[in-house]
Amino acid sequence: MGLIIDDVSVVFPAADGRPPVSALSKINLTIDDDEFVVALGASGCGKSTLLNLIAGFLSPSTGTLNLGGHRVEGPGADRAVVFQKHALLPWLNVLDNVAFGLQIQGVNKAQRYETANKFVGLLGLDGFQKAPVYKLSGGMQQRVGIARALTCDPQILLMDEPLGALDALTREKAQELILRIWRDTHKSIFFITHSVEEALFMGTKLVVMSPRPGRITHTFDLPFSRRYLDGMPARQVKASPEFIRLREDVLKIIFADEEASA
């Protein structure tokens, strides 16, 4: 069934003498099961707002969102969010952080540790179950966040710049890890990034957004993540002429937006 975003607009009302902000205007987007949709765009074009709508933290001014045939009204366990940072609970160890969603849902201890352990292993965190999360590196913390999001078996994963705070090498490894997890778990993913290369590499569909009012200006279907998952090395995918050509095209679009608004 997937996620269907139908003609959604969001207007933040005027506040502190600032005029109302049209953060999103007439957004139409579907995210099918198994699809990996990446949103890209200049700062302030409404990417996070769109993610908050899907997560149910925000309700649209007009339009509707449907997930699996049900109208989205508030947050729910069928959607899981991976935040950029600050979202883990430092008083819990790695395993308890991963099991947190199941604890909320009242799953008993033995069962939730069993499930959590599975995802701890999947994310390559074996041996760190008892470690305090605040002692982990940024990349490991981010993996804990992803493991936690996966435990409750959501239909769709929502990620707002999840790799933005990582160094280049850790970031590329995390990209590949997320792609493999996406293939293995058959979730759909909505992924926000500022990196054009990351967007092209990860997504099956790319939406490029523009600010004032926030809207989707371009949509691309992408073949690259499939190539990686079919066995082509990541660097080779990213160095292919087709990849580079598309990267420059998308950069041109975004720079044009930046200049228009500057």
Partner 1 sequence: MTQVTPSPRPQAGLIARLSRARPTKPGEIYGVPGQGNTLWLSAFSIALFFAVWWLVTAMGWVKPLFVPAPMTIVTKFFAVWNEGFTGTPFLSHLMISTVRVFGAFLLACVIGLPLGLAMGMSPVMRGLFDPPIEFYRPIPPLAYLPLMIIWFGIGETSKVLLIFLSVFAPIVLGARSGVKSAAIEQIHAAYSFGATRWQVLRFVIMPSAMPEILTAMRVGIGFGWTTLVAAEMVAATKGLGYMVLSASQFLQTPVVIMGIFVIAIIAFAFDLLMRFVERRVVPWKGRM
Residues that bind partner 1 (CB under 8 A): 55-57, 75-77, 79-81, 83-91, 100-101, 103-105, 132-134, 148, 152
Name which of 72 and 123 has its Cβ closer to ligand ATP: 72
Name residue 107's amino acid: V
| Only segment of 45-53, 62-70, 109-117, 126-134 that touches Mg ion (CB under 5 A) | 45-53
**Residue 43 binding target from Mg ion, partner 1, ligand ATP, none, CB below 5 to 8 Å by type:** ligand ATP
Map residue 166 onto helix, strand or coil: coil
Residue 204 binds Mg ion (CB under 5 A): no
What phi and psi values does residue 182 have, to the nearest 5 degrees? -60, -45
- Provide the strand spans (E) within the chain: 3-12, 21-31, 36-41, 62-67, 70-71, 79-82, 156-160, 188-192, 205-210, 215-221
**Residue 162 binding target from partner 1, ligand ATP, Mg ion, none, CB below 5 to 8 Å by type:** none
Residue 93 binds Mg ion (CB under 5 A): no
Q: Whole-number minimum distance, CB 58 to partner 1, in Å?
A: 11
Name which of 96 and 198 has its Cβ closer to ligand ATP: 198
Torsion of CA 171, 163, 262, 244, to 10 degrees: 40
Q: Whole-number minimum distance, CB 44 to ligand ATP, in Å?
A: 4
Per the structure block, which two tokens stand in for 11?
A: 């207007």
Contact 48, 160 (CB under 8 A): yes
Write out the residues near ligand ATP by the rule CB under 6 A: 12, 21, 23, 43-49, 214
Per the structure block, which two tokens stand in for 246?
A: 């598309």
Residues that bind Mg ion (CB under 5 A): 48
